């Protein structure tokens, strides 16, 4: 910056340092990821399986204490193409962020899609979680590196329209 140039912008970072307690429900979910399991929860038989579990069923506020393992495969129900960089995300731009209805779950699960040309990303596409190598598994969402296509036939829209 030359001394004669006017100052046209200033950097004003905002930073909050939290000491975050995951709580019982998310702790169980994160411990599951460490074992390559995706654990949801429901408030009882016949009730929706929520992933990740938040401790209660948001519709009824009932305790969702029954742990239910869901699959690491699912169906894309919505997606978004990300073109704006973010310091904490290392995926090469542009990439697709997907909302996956995991098999056995009743709500979508957000993650990143890789190994798929962006023009082929679509609602109904079947995907599978790509786990990090075993040595790197941790009680963290980073245990799933990304999702990628399975190559299975698409799920017809009619079957998933409630979730899109």
Partner 1 sequence: MSDTPDVLRGPHVLEYPYKRSLGPVLSRFFTGLRDRRFEGIRGRDGRVLVPPQEYDPETGEGLDEWVPVGPGGEIVSWSWVSRPRTKQPFDRPFAYALIKLDGADTPLLHAVDAPDESALSAGARVVPRWADAPSGGIRDVVCFDLEAR
Q: Which spans of this chain sit near partner 1 (rule: CB under 8 A)? A: 1, 3, 6-28, 30-31, 41, 55, 63, 65, 67, 87, 139
* Minimum separation from the CB atom of position 48 to partner 1 (A): 17
With H, G, I as helix, E, B as strand and everything else as coil, classify residue 128. strand
Closer to partner 1 by Cβ: residue 22 or 118: 22
Closer to partner 1 by Cβ: residue 42 or 126: 42
- The CA distance from 124 to 1, in Å, is 52
Question: Contact, 137 vs 34, CB < 8 A?
Answer: yes
* Minimum separation from the CB atom of position 80 to partner 1 (A): 20
Closer to partner 1 by Cβ: residue 56 or 132: 56
Residues whose CB falls within 8 Å of the CB of residue 150, separated by 6 or more in sequence, listed in order: 73, 126, 127, 128
* Minimum separation from the CB atom of position 156 to partner 1 (A): 36
Q: HSE on the CB side for 120, CA within 13 Å?
A: 13
* Minimum separation from the CB atom of position 63 to partner 1 (A): 8
* Minimum separation from the CB atom of position 123 to partner 1 (A): 31
- The CA distance from 139 to 38, in Å, is 11
Closer to partner 1 by Cβ: residue 3 or 162: 3
Question: Contact, 74 vs 109, CB < 8 A?
Answer: yes
Bridge-partner residues for 69, per DSSP?
39
Closer to partner 1 by Cβ: residue 32 or 74: 32
């Amino acid at each position: 910056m030359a001394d004669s140039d006017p100052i046209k912008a200033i950097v004003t970072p905002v930073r909050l340092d939290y000491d975050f307690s995951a709580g019982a429900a998310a702790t169980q979910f994160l411990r599951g990821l460490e074992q390559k399991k995706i654990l949801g929860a429901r408030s009882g038989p016949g009730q929706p399986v929520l992933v990740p579990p938040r401790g209660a069923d948001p519709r009824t506020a009932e305790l969702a204490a029954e742990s239910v393992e869901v699959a690491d495969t699912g169906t894309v129900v919505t997606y978004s193409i990300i073109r704006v960089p973010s310091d904490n995300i290392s995926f090469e731009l542009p990439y697709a962020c997907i909302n996956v209805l995991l098999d056995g779950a009743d709500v979508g699960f957000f993650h990143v899609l890789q190994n798929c040309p962006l023009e082929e990303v679509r609602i109904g596409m079947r995907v599978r979680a790509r786990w990090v190598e075993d040595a790197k598994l941790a009680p963290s969402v980073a245990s799933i590196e990304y999702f990628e296509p399975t190559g299975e036939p698409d799920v017809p829209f009619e079957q998933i329209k409630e979730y899109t």
